Structure 1
Amino acid sequence: MLNAEKTTLSFYRYVNIEDPAAMMQILREAWEPLGVKGRTYVAHEGINAQVTVPDENQDAFCELVRSVFPDIPFKFALEEKGEAFAKLKIKVRKKLVADGLPDGAFDVTNVGRHLDAEAFHEALDQPGTLVVDLRNHYECEVGHFQGALLPEANTFRDALPEVLDKLQGQEDKKILLYCTGGIRCEKASAYFRFRGFRDVNQLHGGIIDYARQISEKGLPSRFVGKNFVFDQRMGERVTEDVIAHCHQCENKCDTHVNCRFEGCNRLFIQCEGCATTFEGCCSRECQTIMHKPKEERVLVQHEWEKKLGSTHYLSRTRIPENYAETIERT
């Protein structure tokens, strides 16, 4: 099974899970024999997963998932570029997505209308429509819907209040929400309705399923660029447009990398030329440190953490090596 062809797929479902720890164990025991790898969160409010499955076991895996979560929709990756995940990780979390929203303050089932690609296009063309990207700034940077309101925040927890503040006084407008796979929009749309927005809509299945729909139906893409994904691929190309720039030389580029210095590991965009010039590092400082012995590099890392802690200037715009567990995702 080591060389088997694999497919990356994601799914989520807001549903009451009485014992998340027991559910975690059930899923692990069922999935491991099938060679499943990836990241899955289980919480009292539901499940959120992104995994790779050997093609020969895909049908059996989907049947297993639907035996526990009936009719759950699957979203399949646009492209496969090597291993998306190194191993299977299933964890219990307080929430599926760190949203910062008050528990029990509003009806999370009172969500906006789900629109497929065609309906989303029609809504985009209606006068006065506001389209809102609910992802983080580094996701929006490499790809987004034309004319969308793009957050500057680094996390969904911060992006949501930022967007609501910018939309203040426009509660009567048609709102179109979108994110990577739909899970952020699912709860956010209910919160928008709770906050007084009357015509709230969301892209069904997010950008991932939107790309599949327009490909199958031969529709022109209103999303331009690359869809950032939270696995080792770091992106799926939706259109050939490159709308971002290298953070070091400003040449057009939309390739996300992590700084080679393990004590920094900053997430940034770097072109091939700068990757050679800076030896995979985000700055001359990190490049210099990379040439020091490992013991000195560790001391530098500890000194940065001691001085700046969680407010480290790199920490809010990076994905560490174990990023699949430590930052906001879809």
Structure 2
Amino acid sequence: MPSVVTFYRFVVVPEPEALRHTINSLCEQHGLVGTVLIAPEGLNATLAANTRHSLEAFIVDLGTDVRFKNLNCKWSSSRADNVVFDRLKVRVRPEVVSFGREYQPSSASGPRIAPEAWNAFIDSPQVTVIDTRNKYETEIGGFPNAIPANTVSFRDFPKFVERELDPSTDSKLALYCTGGIRCEKAFQFLTEQGFDQVYQLDGGILNYLAEVDDADNLWSGECFVFDQRVALDSNLRQGTYDQCHACRRPISASDKRSKHYLFGISCHRCINETSSNQKDGFRERERQESLARNRGHRHVGALQHVSAGLHQDSSE
């Protein structure tokens, strides 16, 4: 069963291109695929391999750089018949998660709530729980009584705060996201806006699902992930959702029964969001991929599904 590791680290990276070369070489050496984003503010990665041992060996080698020792790694798995990533992509970006403002690694990060303490913490009537993820993520899973940011992109989070939150009434906030990285940036922004009690779920949803027993688990639904598994269940195994190749939103089996669902072209959510020319392009891409599959090859268009959708966000 393929293993997947997700991690990030905010740290000053004065030489992102040199680090890109180093990490790319290490990944190739250990036979890894996935996405690594590098920026002056740090790195953000999701990597997969046929064995967990290969990933662990990579983490050890990466840790020889003191900046990346003791990473908080989140582990999950995939079905044996599923390709989590088609290839390795190690890219330099302005940010490791798109927010429109650079994170300051030298600034204090928010206080963490351990997964084991999260249930009691969010049960308090004084706590406002905020799901910092995008709308298409929150639609398939979440914690009870959480307020979803309902963003299309994480860049929209400041608008949500301005519209929905007030430091005088929402005095104690509890943030959560997939793996923790978006909460780091959200914390800095919220404290700049005058919120002085901002907490975050340590390690995000993935860490909560790994650490909290099923009997005590308050998570409902599945957790969207930025790879070809689409979503994970409460046991961190590949979930039941597929993905619309036009807009990247998760789609269920019932969604596929919609008259607006055409494989590779549209779903009920994006049917009115793309032009006729775009749909023609999707049809041609699907035709080329079908020909490639019949020849036993993988068409280059298939490699671009994760990055070519209408609703893009950095992997977490």
TM range (shorter): 0.7 to 0.9
C-alpha distance in structure 2 between counterparts of 1:198 and 1:299, whole Å: 47
The superposition leaves residues 269-298 of structure 1 with CA deviations (integer Å, 9 ceiling, x where unpaired) of 2425835964535369x99xxxx9x9x934
Change in 2 beyond 3 A, CA 1:79/1:87: closer
C-alpha distance in structure 2 between counterparts of 1:299 and 1:150, whole Å: 31
Deviation, 1:300, is 9.1
- Cα pair 1:7 1:52 within 8 Å, conserved: yes
The superposition leaves residues 121-168 of structure 1 with CA deviations (integer Å, 9 ceiling, x where unpaired) of 121122221000000000000001110011222100003321343112
C-alpha distance in structure 1 between counterparts of 2:91 and 2:314, whole Å: 15
Q: 1:59 is matched with which residue?
A: 56
Deviation, 1:58, is 3.0
TM-score normalised over the length of structure 2? 0.78
Structure 1, unmatched stretches of 5+, are 240-252, 302-319
The correspondence for 1:157, drawn from 132, 155, 158, is 155
C-alpha distance in structure 2 between counterparts of 1:31 and 1:16, whole Å: 21
SS at match of 1:77: strand
Instruction: Say which structure, 1 or 2, has more relative contact order (CA 8 Å, 6+ apart).
Output: 2
C-alpha distance in structure 1 between counterparts of 2:308 and 2:106, whole Å: 25
Change in 2 beyond 3 A, CA 1:107/1:196: farther
Deviation, 1:328, is 3.3
Change in 2 beyond 3 A, CA 1:266/1:188: closer
Q: 1:95 is matched with which residue?
A: 95
The correspondence for 1:27, drawn from 14, 23, 26, is 23
Asked whether 1:111 is paired with 2:109, we answer yes
The correspondence for 1:235, drawn from 231, 255, 268, is 231
Asked whether 1:282 is paired with 2:279, we answer no
The superposition leaves residues 275-324 of structure 1 with CA deviations (integer Å, 9 ceiling, x where unpaired) of 5964535369x99xxxx9x9x934999xxxxxxxxxxxxxxxxxx71328
Change in 2 beyond 3 A, CA 1:210/1:78: farther
SS at match of 1:28: helix
Change in 2 beyond 3 A, CA 1:279/1:94: closer
SS at match of 1:67: coil
SS at match of 1:177: strand
Deviation, 1:212, is 0.1
AA aligned opposite 1:17: V
Asked whether 1:71 is paired with 2:70, we answer yes
Deviation, 1:185, is 0.4
Q: 1:267 is matched with which residue?
A: 249
Identity within the alignment, %: 28
Asked whether 1:7 is paired with 2:3, we answer yes
C-alpha distance in structure 2 between counterparts of 1:298 and 1:42, whole Å: 31
C-alpha distance in structure 1 between counterparts of 2:255 and 2:11, whole Å: 48
C-alpha distance in structure 2 between counterparts of 1:212 and 1:180, whole Å: 12
SS at match of 1:64: helix
C-alpha distance in structure 2 between counterparts of 1:78 and 1:59, whole Å: 14
AA aligned opposite 2:72: P
C-alpha distance in structure 1 between counterparts of 2:282 and 2:196, whole Å: 54
Aligned length: 282
Change in 2 beyond 3 A, CA 1:283/1:86: closer
Q: 1:258 is matched with which residue?
A: 244
SS at match of 1:59: helix
- Cα pair 2:167 2:195 within 8 Å, conserved: no
The superposition leaves residues 47-92 of structure 1 with CA deviations (integer Å, 9 ceiling, x where unpaired) of 1000002324233112012222111111111554622101111000
C-alpha distance in structure 1 between counterparts of 2:57 and 2:282, whole Å: 49
Shifted more, 178-187 versus 159-168: the winner is: 159-168
Deviation, 1:109, is 2.3
TM-score normalised over the length of structure 1? 0.75
- Cα pair 1:78 1:212 within 8 Å, conserved: no
AA aligned opposite 1:282: S
Q: 1:84 is matched with which residue?
A: 84
- Cα pair 2:74 2:206 within 8 Å, conserved: yes
Structure 2, unmatched stretches of 5+, are 285-303
